[in-house]
Structure 1
Amino acid sequence: MEPDFKEGDQVLVSTLNFNNLKGTKEIRGSFVGPFTIIKLRGENAVEVKLTEDFSRKHPVFPVSLVKPDFQTEEV
């Protein structure tokens, strides 16, 4: 079961389909971010605000490739 996301949530995005990142897969990590969700695209995708480093990527990702960023959640 996928987690429930909402606009404004901070998330990490899987690097599974990022072919042009520098470094080996072991060094660069499995996820990048955090990014802010700016729009929900139905039940299965989210649109995130990408940083300058990822501006050439399409900003919509399936929820299966996104996970919550618990480090940036308010306590």
Structure 2
Amino acid sequence: MEPDFKEGDQVLVSTLNFNNLKGPKKMRDLFVGPFTIIKLIGKNAVEVKLTEEFSRNHPVFPLSLVNPYFQTEEGKFPSKKKSPTPPDIVEVEDSPGPTADKDKWLAEDAIPDGNLHLRRFKASRRTEQSHQ
């Protein structure tokens, strides 16, 4: 299998074997970069130009630890369709009607079957108090 990379390509390198990274292992980035490929070494490895931060690491990595770098999302997902522009936000005003606002008190006569609900509520309170 021929590598899909060529000299000059930008790649991300796995941090799997990097021992000089700070912080807890769970919080570290899985890949770092982008780095530029200097040369291909056989069919299974690449040599990259590491930045000063990673200069203590060996610059040759197997292809299994290298991923291509895409600058934009279009490069990652070429078949992804652009989403249409979102619709304008329309603010809806509350209409004065029979529905009650949760923060407002309503008169008993403004609630349909209000008398019935009030009697049931008071009866349920009496049974709760008698059980205590």
Structure 1 stretches of 4+ with a deviation exceeding 6 A read: none
Structure 1 equivalent of residue 99 of structure 2: none
Q: Deviations over 1:26-49 (max 9, x none)?
A: 322100110000000010000000
2:54 maps to 54
Higher relative contact order (CA 8 A, sep 6+): 1
The total of aligned residue pairs comes to 73
2:8 aligns to what? 8
Map 1:20-31; keep pairs closer than 5 Å: 20-31=20-31
Q: Is the contact made by 1:2 and 1:64 (CA closer than 8 Å) also made in structure 2?
A: no
Structure 1 vs Structure 2: percent identity of aligned residues? 82
TM-score by length of 1: 0.87
Query: Following the alignment from structure 1 to structure 2, what is the Cα–Cα distance between the partners of residues 15 and 2?
Result: 24
1:19 offset after TM fit, Å?
1.6
Query: Which protein shows a greater Rg?
Result: 2
Question: Going by fraction, where is strand more abundant, 1 or 2?
Answer: 1
The TM-score, its normalising length taken from structure 2, stands at 0.51
Higher helix fraction: Structure 1 or Structure 2?
A: 2
> How far apart are 1:68 and its partner, in Å?
0.3
Q: Within 2, Cα distance between the matches of 1:11 and 1:59?
A: 12
Unmatched 5+ stretches in structure 1: none
Provide structure 2 residue ranges, at least 5 long, that are not aligned to the other structure.
76-132
Over the aligned positions, Cα root-mean-square deviation in angstroms equals 1.9
